[in-house]
Amino acid sequence: MKPVMVVTGTRPEIIKMAPVLRALRKRKLPTFFVHCGQHYDYDMAQKFIEDLELPAPDFSFKLKGASPNTQMARIITHMDKLVKEKQPSIVLVEGDTNTVLASAIAANKRGVPVGHVEAGLRSFDLRMPEEHNRRLTDHVSTFLFAPTKTAEANLKRESVWGKIFVTGNTVIDAVNQHLPIAEKKSKILKEIRFDRFVLATAHRAENVDDLAVLKNFIEAFAESPVPVVYPMHPRTKKRLRQNGLYTQIKKCKKVQVLPPLGYLDFLVLMKKCELLVTDSGGIQEEATAPAIRKPVLVIRLSTERQEAVEAGFAKVVGTGKQEILAAIKAAVENKKELPNESPFGDGKAAEKTVKRIEEEFVRA
């Protein structure tokens, strides 16, 4: 069998592809691991690879200071050469980043099948660049590994031509595999000033690049009825500095700003916190893992993780300061029992995905 080319570009992709890489190696299928460097900072990429005890990528590069168009052009160029040289049986991508779409295009143009892990997610909000990326990737993919029946229905509604398989989401696999390790290794709780806290993240371009929205977030965190622990994305820190807000949030006694965290540290904070406030898609999923089971306030106008909302884990609260504050207050004062099972599967998504690949390319 020709190698399975596994491509990542960002921190969430590394996390969600880690179980797939392990499952491929467990089944002794030839693998070629590529990291495209959309997240090139050590704390945003290599630290995660080390935390998850993954082998170093077989090929990697960095995309410093590039616009989205330039990023995609560079990735397509690199991936075109790699796909031509390695002639993989399939190129596996995960999610909805520029890396995902660019790699899928490069493989498709070389006539190599694309496998899209986490296919079929839809926010139905075309203001989001991620919505463009995932839709286009789904329509050039030969194999679509949908995490839920809802995602499968989205794909069928759009009449995608590839084969659809419902597998669950590999992020649940990742939590199950790594939380026990995190609780043994992580020392992050010794650094936290608060006994009770809300864990917050914000990084999406449509939020942090909008000064009004960014100010809403910072003021809401500062006025939260429960202290906030805030691991800060480099993009967010840059925008805060540009607008003279970074010193303000750093001096706030009720907010503890942290640098970007490794995956193990973040898992421990998710387990310990009372509530998550985030614009991240992956965190909405991780919070539903049985070992975490935490409510999530989504500080966006929409979500592509509707299953988390329907199951009672997540609530979309928008980007207004008062709406965020009211939602935090309601969540900490009126705690509700959350489901014992995740709507994103049973933690065996990677195994199911790799089994399908094996059936298509080895047993065929």
- The answer to whether position 340 is within a domain reads no
Residues 290 and 328 in one domain: yes
Convert the pLDDT of each residue in 177-226 to its tens digit.
999 989 999 999 999 999 999 999 998 888 888 999 999 999 999 999 99
Place of tokens 């929409």: 302
What letter does residue 227 receive in the DSSP assignment? -
Residues 82 and 10 in one domain: yes
Collapsed DSSP state (helix, strand, coil) of residue 183: helix
Tokens of 238: 């840059």
pLDDT at 45: 60
Collapsed DSSP state (helix, strand, coil) of residue 47: helix
d(CA 208, CA 217): 9
Residues 114 and 237 in one domain: no
d(CA 128, CA 304): 11
Residues 55 and 195 in one domain: no
Q: Which region holds residue 345: left if phi is over 0, alpha if psi is between -120 and 50, else beta?
A: left
Residues 259 and 325 in one domain: yes
Residues 197 and 273 in one domain: yes
- The answer to whether position 342 is within a domain reads no
- The answer to whether position 343 is within a domain reads no
- The answer to whether position 204 is within a domain reads yes
Residues 44 and 164 in one domain: yes
pLDDT at 44: 54
Convert the pLDDT of each residue in 290-299 to its tens digit.
999 999 999 9
The enclosing domain of 34 has a CATH number of 3.40.50.2000
- Number of domains making up the chain: 2
- The residue segments making up the domain with residue 61 are 4-168+348-361
Catalytic annotation on 116? no
- Name the active-site residue from 35, 39, 203, 233: 203
- The answer to whether position 65 is within a domain reads yes
pLDDT at 65: 67
pLDDT in tens, the chain (364 residues): 899 999 999 888 999 999 999 999 999 999 999 998 765 555 556 777 887 888 889 998 877 767 889 999 999 999 999 999 999 999 999 999 999 999 999 999 999 999 999 999 999 988 889 999 999 999 999 999 999 999 999 999 999 999 999 999 999 999 999 999 899 999 999 999 999 999 999 988 888 889 999 999 999 999 999 999 999 998 899 999 999 999 999 999 999 999 989 889 999 999 999 999 999 989 999 999 999 999 999 999 999 999 999 999 999 999 999 999 999 999 999 888 999 999 999 999 999 999 999 999 986 5
Return the C-alpha torsion angle 105, 149, 312, 339, nearest 10.
-120
- The answer to whether position 341 is within a domain reads no
Residues 143 and 181 in one domain: no
Per-residue b/e over 190-203, b at no fewer than 16 CB within 10 Å? eebeeeebbbbbbb
Residues 14 and 151 in one domain: yes
pLDDT at 204: 87
- The answer to whether position 113 is within a domain reads yes
pLDDT at 128: 85
pLDDT at 58: 94
Residues 10 and 75 in one domain: yes
Residues 213 and 152 in one domain: no
pTM (2 d.p.): 0.90
Residues 314 and 198 in one domain: yes
pLDDT at 338: 96
- The answer to whether position 89 is within a domain reads yes
